[in-house]
Each structure stands twice: as C-alpha cells, then as structure tokens.
C-alpha cells in the first residue's frame, strides 16, 4: 500500500494506520531503536516517571496504542496490573513475552468502564489517532479522579542546528533505513505524520475543556520529543 499520498482523515486514516502497523510489526522494535539512536528507551523512562507510579501501584494502568508492549513490560516488572490496547493485531501478536492483558481496539472507543483506570500512558501514537479530541474524552472518562495521562511523541527542536539535523535524519535517513530494514512507504509516511500533532495551546485548551487539570507539554532531549501530560481533577 502507498502511504505517501496526502495525509488521510477519518476512516481512511484509521484503515491506513492499522494496515501500516500490521505491515511493519515484525521489525518495529528494531527500527525504533535504530531511528531514535537508542534514545527511545530513555524517553519512555522519563515519560513513565511523569506518572509518579510506585511499584505495586494498586490501580490498573492502560498502555494505549501499546504496540509490542514496551511500556507494558516495564509496568508489569513494577508489579502493576496493565492493559495494553492497540489498533493493530500485528503489533499485539509481535509483542514478545507479554504479561499484560492485550486488547485490540481504538483509543476513540475504549472498551473500559468509567473511572476504572489509574493512569494512561502512550508512546509515539498521538499522530496516529484518528480523532485526538475523542481519545482525550475517552481517557478522561475511564480515568479515576486524580488519574494521570502521559503521551510521548516526536517534536521539532527549538535549536536551529538541532532542528536542521533532525529534519535531515527524520525526513531523509528514516525512510531510507525503513526501506532497507522494513517498509519504505510506511517509513516515508511516518515523518509526514508530524502534521497531525497538536500545538501546545491546542492540546491545553482541549484538555481543559474536557475537564483535565494541570495540562502541560514537556520537551525532552532539546525538543526531539515531547510529552503531553494532564491530570483528571
């Protein structure tokens, strides 16, 4: 499938994202490590720290758009009951040694009860949600009062030098490496999908309108990535 045409919307985007991640699931973890130069592990660690979860945390944590389960594995090792949900069955099946409860589903329609989840975490999926506003509404619905969400995704650095280097790497090197190790069309689409990311003000406004408290955006590694954080009041 050609993922390099104009950015899709609605059901077309849902289908494309699902098919794309089914196609690249087998080598997704390898490519993540290569294209992030190994920094993805550090970024996930910092994102998880923002949730302030102690070991043996008693509430369930949702790993939304969990992929092969990187966040889930860490949470399970902390003795935290974890549900991993992803649109792509290919990604769920490629998760090695999963001990979370994997569920196929969409962030816009979470198959979970109101006020049933202690925290929601997500890695590199904000761009891939079909309707981010609906996802935030669903996250708010399932979180317990005081529950937190932290969504990690790519960003644009503020430094001109770092921004230039990042653009060359993300827009040139990533599709090239993706073509060698996995699917060139998919890894040509992923850099372009940055266009789906919300601006900081847009995220904060939406989160507060939905009812979240203390909504913020934090940059990591000079702005190479960002974390969208909010807490249910």
Segment 6-46, tens digit of pLDDT: 789 999 999 999 999 999 999 999 998 999 999 999 999 99
Is pLDDT of 2 > 80? no
Q: Is 67 helix (H, G, I), strand (E, B) or coil?
A: coil
Residue 4 lies in a domain: no
Residue 29 lies in a domain: yes
pLDDT > 90: percent of the chain: 81
Q: How far does CA 209 lie from the centroid of its chain? A: 22
Q: How confident is the model at residue 185 (pLDDT cuts 50, 70, 90)?
A: confident
Structural domain including 110 reads 10-232
Cβ contact 47:67 at 8 Å? no
- In this structure, how many other beta carbons lie within 10 angstroms of the beta carbon of residue 109? 10
pLDDT digits (tens, 9 = 90+) for 121-179: 999 999 999 999 999 999 999 999 999 999 999 998 989 999 999 999 988 999 898 88
Cβ contact 128:186 at 8 Å? no
The whole model's pTM is what?
0.94
Residue 2 lies in a domain: no
Residue 1 lies in a domain: no
Residue 41 lies in a domain: yes
Residue 80 lies in a domain: yes
Residue 173 lies in a domain: yes
CATH number for the domain including 89? Answer: 3.40.50.150
Residue 5 lies in a domain: no
Per-residue burial over 167-195, b = 16 or more CB atoms within 10 Å of its CB, e = otherwise:
eeebeeebbebbeeebbbbbbbbbbbbee
Is pLDDT of 4 > 60? no
Total domain count, the chain:
1
């Amino acid at each position: 499938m050609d993922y390099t045409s104009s950015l899709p919307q609605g059901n077309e985007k849902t289908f494309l994202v699902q098919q794309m991640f089914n196609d690249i699931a087998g080598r997704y973890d390898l490519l993540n490590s290569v294209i992030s130069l190994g920094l993805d592990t550090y970024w996930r660690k910092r994102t998880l720290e923002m949730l302030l979860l102690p070991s043996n945390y008693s509430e369930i944590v949702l790993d939304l758009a969990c992929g092969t389960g990187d966040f889930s594995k860490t949470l399970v090792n902390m003795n935290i009951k974890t549900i991993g949900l992803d649109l792509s069955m290919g990604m769920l099946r490629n998760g090695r040694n999963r001990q979370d409860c994997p569920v196929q589903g969409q962030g816009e329609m979470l198959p979970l009860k109101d006020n049933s989840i202690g925290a929601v975490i997500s890695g590199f999926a904000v761009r891939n949600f079909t309707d981010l506003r609906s996802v935030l509404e669903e996250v708010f619905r399932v979180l317990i009062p005081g529950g937190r969400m932290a969504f990690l995704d790519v960003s644009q650095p503020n430094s001109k030098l770092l921004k230039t280097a990042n653009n060359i790497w993300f827009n040139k090197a990533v599709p090239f490496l993706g073509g060698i190790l996995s699917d060139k069309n998919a890894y040509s689409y992923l850099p372009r999908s940055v266009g789906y990311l919300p601006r900081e003000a847009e995220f904060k406004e939406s989160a507060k309108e939905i009812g979240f408290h203390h909504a913020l955006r934090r940059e990591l590694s000079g702005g190479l990535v960002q974390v969208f954080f909010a807490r249910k009041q």
